[in-house]
Amino acid sequence: MRDIAQLPKAHLHVHLESTVRWRTAQEIADANGLTIPDPPGSFDGFRSFADYNSRVRESLCRPEDFRRIALEFCEDEAAQGTRYAEVTFTAASHGDRLGSPEMPLEAVLDGLAEGRAAYGIECRVILDHSRRRSVDRAWRTLKLATRYTSAGVVGIGLAGEESYPLAPFAEVFDTARDEGVRLVHHAGEEGGPESVREALVLGHAERIGHGITVLDDDGLVAELCERAIPLEVCPTSNVALGLAPSLDDHPLHRLRAAGLTVTLNTDIPSIVGTSLVEEYARVRDAFGYDDEALAELARAGIDASFAPDATKERLRRGVDAWLAS
Protein backbone atom coordinates (compact mmCIF):
# COMPACT_ATOMS: atom_id res chain seq x y z
CA MET A 1 0.00 0.00 0.00
CA ARG A 2 1.31 3.41 -0.97
CA ASP A 3 1.61 6.30 1.46
CA ILE A 4 -1.75 8.12 1.45
CA ALA A 5 -0.09 11.34 2.62
CA GLN A 6 1.78 11.41 -0.69
CA LEU A 7 -1.41 11.08 -2.76
CA PRO A 8 -2.28 14.55 -4.17
CA LYS A 9 -5.76 15.38 -2.95
CA ALA A 10 -8.43 18.06 -3.26
CA HIS A 11 -10.39 18.76 -0.08
CA LEU A 12 -13.81 20.16 -0.95
CA HIS A 13 -15.98 19.94 2.17
CA VAL A 14 -14.30 21.21 5.33
CA HIS A 15 -15.43 23.99 7.67
CA LEU A 16 -12.58 26.27 8.69
CA GLU A 17 -13.91 26.86 12.20
CA SER A 18 -13.97 23.07 12.70
CA THR A 19 -10.31 22.60 11.72
CA VAL A 20 -8.84 24.65 14.57
CA ARG A 21 -6.11 22.86 16.53
CA TRP A 22 -7.24 22.40 20.10
CA ARG A 23 -4.19 24.08 21.57
CA THR A 24 -4.85 27.02 19.24
CA ALA A 25 -8.53 27.09 20.20
CA GLN A 26 -7.66 27.19 23.88
CA GLU A 27 -5.04 29.91 23.41
CA ILE A 28 -7.43 32.06 21.38
CA ALA A 29 -10.22 31.55 23.90
CA ASP A 30 -7.91 32.45 26.78
CA ALA A 31 -6.77 35.61 24.99
CA ASN A 32 -10.40 36.63 24.52
CA GLY A 33 -11.50 35.78 28.07
CA LEU A 34 -13.50 32.69 27.08
CA THR A 35 -13.38 28.94 27.68
CA ILE A 36 -13.95 26.00 25.34
CA PRO A 37 -14.71 22.50 26.67
CA ASP A 38 -13.00 19.48 25.15
CA PRO A 39 -14.93 17.92 22.23
CA PRO A 40 -17.12 14.98 23.24
CA GLY A 41 -16.15 12.90 20.19
CA SER A 42 -19.74 12.01 19.30
CA PHE A 43 -23.01 13.90 19.38
CA ASP A 44 -26.69 13.26 19.96
CA GLY A 45 -27.71 14.47 16.52
CA PHE A 46 -26.92 17.55 14.47
CA ARG A 47 -28.31 20.09 16.95
CA SER A 48 -26.00 19.00 19.77
CA PHE A 49 -23.03 19.32 17.42
CA ALA A 50 -24.12 22.77 16.25
CA ASP A 51 -24.51 24.00 19.82
CA TYR A 52 -21.02 22.79 20.68
CA ASN A 53 -19.48 24.16 17.50
CA SER A 54 -20.88 27.61 18.20
CA ARG A 55 -18.61 27.81 21.28
CA VAL A 56 -15.55 27.53 19.05
CA ARG A 57 -16.88 30.05 16.54
CA GLU A 58 -17.70 32.61 19.22
CA SER A 59 -14.15 32.48 20.59
CA LEU A 60 -12.81 33.96 17.34
CA CYS A 61 -12.81 37.73 17.79
CA ARG A 62 -9.67 39.44 16.48
CA PRO A 63 -8.14 39.61 12.99
CA GLU A 64 -5.15 37.65 14.26
CA ASP A 65 -7.49 34.84 15.38
CA PHE A 66 -8.91 34.36 11.91
CA ARG A 67 -5.56 34.80 10.20
CA ARG A 68 -3.95 32.22 12.49
CA ILE A 69 -6.54 29.48 11.96
CA ALA A 70 -6.35 29.96 8.18
CA LEU A 71 -2.55 29.73 8.16
CA GLU A 72 -2.56 26.64 10.39
CA PHE A 73 -5.22 25.07 8.18
CA CYS A 74 -2.83 25.38 5.24
CA GLU A 75 0.04 23.86 7.20
CA ASP A 76 -2.03 20.91 8.41
CA GLU A 77 -3.60 20.21 5.01
CA ALA A 78 -0.28 20.40 3.17
CA ALA A 79 1.14 17.80 5.57
CA GLN A 80 -1.68 15.44 4.51
CA GLY A 81 -1.03 15.75 0.81
CA THR A 82 -3.85 18.19 0.17
CA ARG A 83 -2.75 20.28 -2.78
CA TYR A 84 -6.00 22.18 -3.32
CA ALA A 85 -8.80 23.02 -0.87
CA GLU A 86 -12.13 24.79 -0.94
CA VAL A 87 -12.64 25.67 2.68
CA THR A 88 -16.04 26.75 3.98
CA PHE A 89 -16.28 29.83 6.18
CA THR A 90 -19.30 31.55 7.75
CA ALA A 91 -18.07 35.07 7.06
CA ALA A 92 -21.29 37.10 7.36
CA SER A 93 -22.17 35.52 10.68
CA HIS A 94 -18.82 36.49 12.17
CA GLY A 95 -19.05 39.93 10.62
CA ASP A 96 -22.47 40.57 12.17
CA ARG A 97 -21.36 39.24 15.55
CA LEU A 98 -18.25 41.41 15.65
CA GLY A 99 -19.72 44.51 14.01
CA SER A 100 -17.15 44.41 11.22
CA PRO A 101 -18.61 42.95 7.99
CA GLU A 102 -15.36 42.50 6.07
CA MET A 103 -12.75 41.91 8.79
CA PRO A 104 -13.17 38.14 9.41
CA LEU A 105 -13.10 37.25 5.73
CA GLU A 106 -10.21 39.58 4.92
CA ALA A 107 -8.18 38.09 7.78
CA VAL A 108 -8.92 34.53 6.61
CA LEU A 109 -7.92 35.40 3.04
CA ASP A 110 -4.69 36.93 4.35
CA GLY A 111 -3.94 33.73 6.27
CA LEU A 112 -4.66 31.52 3.25
CA ALA A 113 -2.41 33.67 1.06
CA GLU A 114 0.37 33.38 3.63
CA GLY A 115 -0.23 29.63 3.81
CA ARG A 116 0.05 29.24 0.06
CA ALA A 117 3.38 31.06 0.05
CA ALA A 118 4.69 28.99 2.96
CA TYR A 119 3.28 25.53 2.17
CA GLY A 120 2.41 25.52 -1.51
CA ILE A 121 -1.26 24.69 -1.04
CA GLU A 122 -3.84 26.45 -3.20
CA CYS A 123 -7.03 27.39 -1.30
CA ARG A 124 -10.31 29.00 -2.23
CA VAL A 125 -13.25 29.87 0.02
CA ILE A 126 -16.92 28.93 -0.03
CA LEU A 127 -19.09 31.17 2.14
CA ASP A 128 -21.89 29.32 3.88
CA HIS A 129 -25.10 30.54 5.46
CA SER A 130 -27.23 28.77 8.05
CA ARG A 131 -30.73 27.81 6.93
CA ARG A 132 -31.92 29.06 10.34
CA ARG A 133 -30.70 32.61 9.73
CA SER A 134 -32.20 35.51 7.83
CA VAL A 135 -32.48 36.04 4.12
CA ASP A 136 -30.92 39.47 4.66
CA ARG A 137 -27.75 37.82 5.96
CA ALA A 138 -27.76 35.51 2.95
CA TRP A 139 -27.75 38.60 0.72
CA ARG A 140 -24.79 39.92 2.71
CA THR A 141 -23.02 36.62 2.16
CA LEU A 142 -23.53 36.93 -1.59
CA LYS A 143 -22.29 40.52 -1.49
CA LEU A 144 -19.09 39.38 0.24
CA ALA A 145 -18.64 36.61 -2.32
CA THR A 146 -18.89 38.96 -5.28
CA ARG A 147 -16.69 41.59 -3.65
CA TYR A 148 -13.88 39.13 -2.83
CA THR A 149 -13.99 36.86 -5.88
CA SER A 150 -10.61 38.04 -7.08
CA ALA A 151 -9.16 37.36 -3.62
CA GLY A 152 -10.22 33.73 -3.61
CA VAL A 153 -13.92 33.43 -2.77
CA VAL A 154 -15.40 31.00 -5.26
CA GLY A 155 -18.94 30.23 -4.09
CA ILE A 156 -21.71 30.28 -1.50
CA GLY A 157 -24.19 27.79 -0.11
CA LEU A 158 -26.62 26.86 2.62
CA ALA A 159 -25.66 24.74 5.62
CA GLY A 160 -27.35 23.66 8.82
CA GLU A 161 -30.53 21.84 9.74
CA GLU A 162 -32.45 20.73 6.67
CA SER A 163 -35.79 21.03 8.46
CA TYR A 164 -35.43 24.70 7.53
CA PRO A 165 -36.27 24.92 3.81
CA LEU A 166 -34.16 26.42 1.07
CA ALA A 167 -37.14 28.07 -0.64
CA PRO A 168 -36.94 31.45 1.19
CA PHE A 169 -33.43 31.93 -0.24
CA ALA A 170 -34.30 31.09 -3.86
CA GLU A 171 -33.94 34.68 -5.10
CA VAL A 172 -30.48 34.94 -3.54
CA PHE A 173 -29.36 31.85 -5.43
CA ASP A 174 -30.98 32.98 -8.68
CA THR A 175 -28.89 36.14 -8.41
CA ALA A 176 -25.74 34.24 -7.46
CA ARG A 177 -26.10 31.97 -10.49
CA ASP A 178 -26.65 34.94 -12.77
CA GLU A 179 -23.55 36.65 -11.37
CA GLY A 180 -21.36 33.58 -11.87
CA VAL A 181 -20.98 32.65 -8.19
CA ARG A 182 -20.65 28.88 -7.74
CA LEU A 183 -23.32 27.18 -5.62
CA VAL A 184 -22.85 24.27 -3.21
CA HIS A 185 -25.46 23.38 -0.60
CA HIS A 186 -25.57 20.96 2.31
CA ALA A 187 -28.40 18.55 1.58
CA GLY A 188 -29.20 14.89 2.08
CA GLU A 189 -27.20 14.82 5.32
CA GLU A 190 -29.93 14.60 7.94
CA GLY A 191 -32.67 15.40 5.42
CA GLY A 192 -34.03 13.05 2.78
CA PRO A 193 -33.85 13.09 -1.04
CA GLU A 194 -36.38 15.92 -1.19
CA SER A 195 -33.76 18.18 0.39
CA VAL A 196 -31.33 17.33 -2.40
CA ARG A 197 -34.00 17.99 -5.05
CA GLU A 198 -34.64 21.40 -3.52
CA ALA A 199 -30.92 22.17 -3.61
CA LEU A 200 -30.80 21.26 -7.28
CA VAL A 201 -33.97 22.98 -8.44
CA LEU A 202 -34.18 26.10 -6.27
CA GLY A 203 -30.56 26.32 -5.19
CA HIS A 204 -28.93 25.55 -8.58
CA ALA A 205 -26.43 23.34 -6.75
CA GLU A 206 -23.34 22.30 -8.70
CA ARG A 207 -22.26 19.91 -5.93
CA ILE A 208 -24.12 18.45 -2.98
CA GLY A 209 -22.61 18.68 0.48
CA HIS A 210 -23.09 15.15 1.92
CA GLY A 211 -26.01 13.69 -0.09
CA ILE A 212 -25.86 10.37 1.72
CA THR A 213 -29.65 9.84 1.64
CA VAL A 214 -30.06 9.99 -2.15
CA LEU A 215 -30.16 6.20 -2.51
CA ASP A 216 -33.72 6.31 -1.18
CA ASP A 217 -34.84 7.82 -4.52
CA ASP A 218 -33.89 5.94 -7.70
CA GLY A 219 -35.04 8.80 -9.91
CA LEU A 220 -32.84 11.25 -8.06
CA VAL A 221 -29.85 8.92 -8.32
CA ALA A 222 -30.40 8.68 -12.07
CA GLU A 223 -30.60 12.47 -12.38
CA LEU A 224 -27.44 13.04 -10.35
CA CYS A 225 -25.60 10.49 -12.48
CA GLU A 226 -26.86 11.97 -15.74
CA ARG A 227 -25.94 15.50 -14.70
CA ALA A 228 -22.65 14.37 -13.09
CA ILE A 229 -23.44 16.26 -9.87
CA PRO A 230 -20.74 15.31 -7.34
CA LEU A 231 -21.41 14.41 -3.71
CA GLU A 232 -19.11 15.66 -0.94
CA VAL A 233 -19.16 12.64 1.37
CA CYS A 234 -17.79 12.88 4.93
CA PRO A 235 -18.00 9.43 6.58
CA THR A 236 -16.43 10.06 9.99
CA SER A 237 -18.55 13.16 10.51
CA ASN A 238 -21.69 11.25 9.54
CA VAL A 239 -20.94 8.52 12.08
CA ALA A 240 -20.04 10.99 14.83
CA LEU A 241 -23.29 12.92 14.31
CA GLY A 242 -25.33 9.71 14.38
CA LEU A 243 -26.28 9.90 10.70
CA ALA A 244 -24.69 6.52 9.90
CA PRO A 245 -24.47 3.65 12.39
CA SER A 246 -20.79 2.88 11.74
CA LEU A 247 -18.13 3.33 9.11
CA ASP A 248 -18.66 -0.24 7.88
CA ASP A 249 -22.35 0.53 7.35
CA HIS A 250 -21.80 3.95 5.78
CA PRO A 251 -23.38 4.27 2.31
CA LEU A 252 -20.22 5.56 0.60
CA HIS A 253 -19.50 2.27 -1.17
CA ARG A 254 -23.12 1.90 -2.28
CA LEU A 255 -23.13 5.47 -3.58
CA ARG A 256 -20.10 4.71 -5.73
CA ALA A 257 -21.57 1.41 -6.88
CA ALA A 258 -24.69 3.28 -8.02
CA GLY A 259 -22.54 5.29 -10.43
CA LEU A 260 -22.57 8.53 -8.44
CA THR A 261 -19.57 10.84 -8.35
CA VAL A 262 -18.27 10.61 -4.79
CA THR A 263 -15.58 12.82 -3.28
CA LEU A 264 -14.06 12.13 0.13
CA ASN A 265 -13.86 14.87 2.77
CA THR A 266 -13.69 15.47 6.52
CA ASP A 267 -16.32 18.19 7.23
CA ILE A 268 -15.42 18.90 10.88
CA PRO A 269 -12.05 17.21 11.41
CA SER A 270 -10.79 18.70 14.65
CA ILE A 271 -14.10 18.15 16.39
CA VAL A 272 -14.45 14.47 15.46
CA GLY A 273 -10.74 13.69 15.55
CA THR A 274 -9.93 12.89 11.95
CA SER A 275 -7.89 14.19 9.05
CA LEU A 276 -8.10 13.74 5.30
CA VAL A 277 -5.36 11.08 5.36
CA GLU A 278 -7.20 9.24 8.13
CA GLU A 279 -10.46 9.51 6.19
CA TYR A 280 -8.85 7.80 3.19
CA ALA A 281 -7.32 5.14 5.45
CA ARG A 282 -10.60 4.44 7.22
CA VAL A 283 -12.47 4.08 3.94
CA ARG A 284 -9.74 1.80 2.62
CA ASP A 285 -10.02 -0.44 5.66
CA ALA A 286 -13.83 -0.41 5.85
CA PHE A 287 -14.45 -1.28 2.20
CA GLY A 288 -11.26 -3.10 1.23
CA TYR A 289 -10.25 -0.43 -1.27
CA ASP A 290 -6.92 -0.80 -3.02
CA ASP A 291 -4.68 2.06 -4.11
CA GLU A 292 -6.47 2.36 -7.47
CA ALA A 293 -9.79 2.93 -5.67
CA LEU A 294 -8.19 5.59 -3.47
CA ALA A 295 -6.76 7.24 -6.58
CA GLU A 296 -10.25 7.23 -8.10
CA LEU A 297 -11.58 9.07 -5.05
CA ALA A 298 -8.74 11.59 -5.32
CA ARG A 299 -9.42 12.13 -9.03
CA ALA A 300 -13.12 12.63 -8.31
CA GLY A 301 -12.28 15.40 -5.85
CA ILE A 302 -9.95 17.08 -8.32
CA ASP A 303 -12.46 16.89 -11.17
CA ALA A 304 -15.35 18.13 -8.97
CA SER A 305 -13.42 21.13 -7.69
CA PHE A 306 -13.72 24.70 -8.92
CA ALA A 307 -9.96 24.85 -9.43
CA PRO A 308 -8.49 26.31 -12.62
CA ASP A 309 -7.91 23.79 -15.40
CA ALA A 310 -4.15 24.06 -15.02
CA THR A 311 -4.38 23.15 -11.33
CA LYS A 312 -6.61 20.18 -12.09
CA GLU A 313 -4.24 18.87 -14.75
CA ARG A 314 -1.25 19.23 -12.43
CA LEU A 315 -3.02 17.33 -9.68
CA ARG A 316 -4.18 14.56 -12.05
CA ARG A 317 -0.58 14.06 -13.14
CA GLY A 318 0.39 13.85 -9.48
CA VAL A 319 -2.18 11.10 -8.86
CA ASP A 320 -0.87 9.16 -11.86
CA ALA A 321 2.68 9.51 -10.55
CA TRP A 322 1.58 8.27 -7.10
CA LEU A 323 0.10 5.13 -8.66
CA ALA A 324 3.21 4.60 -10.77
CA SER A 325 5.54 4.92 -7.80
Q: What is the structure's pLDDT at 59?
A: 95
Residue 47 has pLDDT above 90, yes or no: no
Calculate mean pLDDT across residues 292-307: 98
Return the closest-CA partner of residue 144 out of 198, 94, 98. 94
pLDDT tens digits, residue range 79-120?
Answer: 999 999 999 999 999 999 999 999 999 999 999 999 999 999
Q: Do 77 and 85 meet the contact criterion of CB atoms below 8 Å apart?
A: yes
Q: How far apart are the first and last CA of the chain?
A: 11
Q: Is 46's pLDDT higher than 80?
A: no
| Mean of pLDDT over the chain | 96
Q: Do residues 195 and 161 touch, judged by C-beta distance below 8 A? A: no
Taking a C-beta distance cutoff of 8 angstroms, is the pair 95, 55 a contact? Answer: no
pLDDT digits (tens, 9 = 90+) for 204-231: 999 999 999 999 999 999 999 999 999 9
Average pLDDT over residues 9-38: 94
Cα 128 from Cα 282, distance rounded (Å): 28
CA distances from 33 to 28, 107, 113, 312 (A): 9, 21, 29, 43
Alpha carbon 292 to chain centroid, angstroms = 24
**Where does the pLDDT of residue 52 fall: very low under 50, low under 70, confident under 90, or very high at 90 and above?**
confident
pLDDT of residue 41: 65
**pLDDT tens digit string along 141-198?**
999 999 999 999 999 999 999 999 999 999 999 999 999 999 999 999 999 999 999 9
Candidate list 189, 198, 232, 279, residue with the active-site label:
189
DSSP state letter for 38 = P
Annotated catalytic, 86? no
User: How confident is the model at residue 44, as a pLDDT?
Assistant: 73
Model pLDDT, residue 50: 78
What's the predicted TM-score (pTM) here? 0.96
H helix runs in 7-62, sequence order = 22-31, 46-59
Residues in contact with 292: Cβ distance below 8 Å, sequence separation at least 6, in sequence order? 323
The C-alpha atoms of residue 146 and residue 76 are separated, in whole angstroms, by 28
Residue 9: the pLDDT is 98
